Structure 1
């Protein structure tokens, strides 16, 4: 059954992580929408470690864009994998707060599952995507030093093109954010039927109030990552 597969995969992932180290996160190797995988490898997923390890001359192009619409409220992930002929497989995933109304006997983990859709893109459609990325400054300099908090709204890009890795990030509000156009392209092919959570200004006091409400600093949902020269340079809990 699907439940057994999911549980086995989750337990295997957790066991592998602890075998490597109790202090470091697991390297992402696929299955972000399986329960448990996100918990132990989210930062590796944000850094695109799996894409980096497979990126070499001659490999098919691959893109991953992640939208943090406040971590606990909405996460959207978009992945395009080239087919070797100019087209690509486009996968859209959305995670929203768990709702126990979605629980079923067949799959008790359903409330925590991602909504997913997949479509095949033609070469002209992929070229349109590339144009949108270029217009958004996706392949420009990485914003070194930029801090992205889980309570904020931001986009992260990790891509492999012509054997080279590209990384970028956009934080709301900013001038760079205002120039984004790839989000419209992504949503045009998104068939998850989950409404996009529009960004808004987040007062720093909101993060403090969240900590007070919880009674402790929950690092699983309150965390800060920093962008380095070629990707993430670490994460902090606060």
Structure 2
């Protein structure tokens, strides 16, 4: 079953529609479902139950994994990273979002948009929003965390943007070593190069990661790419 976007994005779209047009959430969900080719949301949900979508990202990761989460702007990579953390928190794991892009308030708003029906699981996420985030600060913050801790870094290409920070290649080697030794799962949101052309290839791959500075992507164990609502996994190491 192919939808125009992941289900959590469709639900977020419905909540925004309900708020903006002052209609009930049920009406908004049905309207979104019609855009996807279903008469009602319940029919869409029934079809999903019979033909489930891609397994949750967390279920495809193992302790010590270093993940690349790539996509072009607007294709849901940040929301997918936050959903990974929500799923981790729901399992009782430590879940941390390191962001050089968003403020704490902006991140909390995005988390809230993903939590259908609330529940407060997102409140358990730790958010580290700062300009000085680098491998050393990540290691220091996660030191002593239990194996299976999940952290998402937003995003790969600006970890070494400041001159005083180590080269990105050195930071990745440091974090790969930390991940292996601690059993923490580290996911890095990554930009896709503008040269990626979906008319030539429906999904981006490792060769499409934008790398302004040299990085050995062999340090990563897995990669997950998002485009147009579709998901593609790729083993690296």
Larger helix proportion, structure 1 or 2? 2
The answer to which structure, 1 or 2, has the higher relative contact order (CA under 8 A, 6+ apart) is 2
Answer yes or no: same fold by TM over 0.5. no
Larger strand proportion, structure 1 or 2? 1
